[in-house]
């Protein structure tokens, strides 16, 4: 899998996840993005890429508009029990971790006790300064990993506040671990914290407040 994937097949052979034509198409596009950003390429090859991409995009745009199923999202995120050590299933279209989203990372998150943990290696498409990841993608990963705690809590919520502290450069092309947990609860609020480490060193940390909602609001 491409450099930014950071995970294995979460639902092989099912209608969701990595082993699905939509998942394979998204993975190919992520690979293309990292290849384009990570290599010196001759102009004629770049023109060929542009022509092929525009041709396929035109074919896709000619298809019917796609609507996401809120009830399916609710079932997959809040009506499941995730055992310790198991993969936490998110929705496939998620910008950060969804295997069907060609713009994201497609990382895998698993449960470790009461914590959500993601292992990911960021590819060239997420580079900010040379050799370092863009701070925005680090913040997005924190938001997403902490969002997986909502599945463990069986509690829909939205991010109310996210604060990220950058302790050191977050490297590109090296394994990273993001680990988050809930530290405080109120009827309408969840406070969470997380850390990102590279080779055992904390490179970034985060605190986030989630505002909870009634699960019935996810009905169409």
Tell me the C-alpha distance between 218 and 220, whole Å: 6
Tell me the C-alpha distance between 35 and 32, whole Å: 5
Q: Which residue shows structure tokens 């009506």?
A: 79
Beta-carbon contacts of residue 173 (< 8 Å; ≥ 6 apart)? 3, 121, 122, 123, 124
Q: Which contacts (CB < 8 Å, 24+ apart) does range 85-91 have?
A: 85/110, 85/111, 85/112, 86/110, 86/111, 87/10, 88/116, 88/148, 88/151, 88/152, 89/10, 89/11, 89/16, 89/17, 89/151, 90/144, 90/147, 90/148, 90/151
Element (H, E) at 43: helix 43-61
Task: Bin 13: left if φ > 0, else alpha if -120 < ψ < 50, else beta.
Answer: left
Per-residue pLDDT tens digits of the chain, which is 220 residues long: 333 333 333 333 345 677 899 999 999 999 999 999 999 999 999 999 999 999 999 999 999 998 877 767 777 777 788 999 999 988 888 889 989 999 999 899 999 999 999 999 999 999 999 999 999 999 999 999 999 999 999 889 999 999 999 999 999 999 999 999 999 999 899 999 999 999 999 999 999 999 998 866 665 5
Residue 77: per-residue pLDDT? 77
Residue 3: per-residue pLDDT? 35
Q: Is the pTM of this model over 0.75?
A: yes
Tell me the C-alpha distance between 119 and 172, whole Å: 13
Give whole-number Cα distances, 79 to 21, 72, 154, in Å: 26, 10, 7
Candidates 210, 163, 206, 156; CA nearest to 186 is 210
Residue 72: per-residue pLDDT? 72
Beta bridge partners of 192: 182, 208
Q: Looking at domain 1-220, what is its CATH homologous superfamily? A: Hotdog Thioesterase (3.10.129.10)
């Amino acid at each position: 899998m491409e450099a930014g994937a950071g995970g294995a097949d979460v639902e092989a052979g099912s209608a969701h996840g990595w082993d699905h034509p939509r998942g394979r198409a998204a993975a190919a596009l992520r690979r293309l993005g990292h290849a384009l950003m990570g290599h010196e390429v001759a102009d004629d090859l770049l023109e060929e890429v542009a022509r092929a991409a525009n041709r396929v995009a035109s074919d896709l745009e000619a298809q019917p508009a796609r609507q996401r199923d809120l009830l399916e999202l609710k079932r997959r995120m809040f009506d499941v029990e995730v055992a310790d050590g198991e993969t936490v299933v998110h929705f496939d279209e998620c910008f950060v971790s969804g295997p069907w989203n060609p713009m994201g990372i497609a990382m895998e998150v698993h449960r470790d006790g009461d914590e959500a943990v993601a292992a990911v290696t960021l590819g060239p498409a997420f580079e900010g300064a040379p050799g370092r990841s863009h701070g925005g993608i680090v913040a997005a990963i924190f938001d997403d990993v902490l969002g997986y705690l909502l599945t463990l809590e069986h509690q829909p919520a939205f991010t109310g506040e996210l604060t990220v502290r950058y302790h050191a450069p977050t490297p590109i092309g090296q394994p990273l671990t993001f680990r988050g947990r809930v530290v405080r609860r109120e009827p309408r609020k969840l406070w969470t914290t997380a850390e990102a480490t590279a080779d055992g060193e904390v490179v970034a940390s985060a605190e986030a407040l989630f505002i909870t909602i009634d699960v019935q609001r996810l009905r169409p």
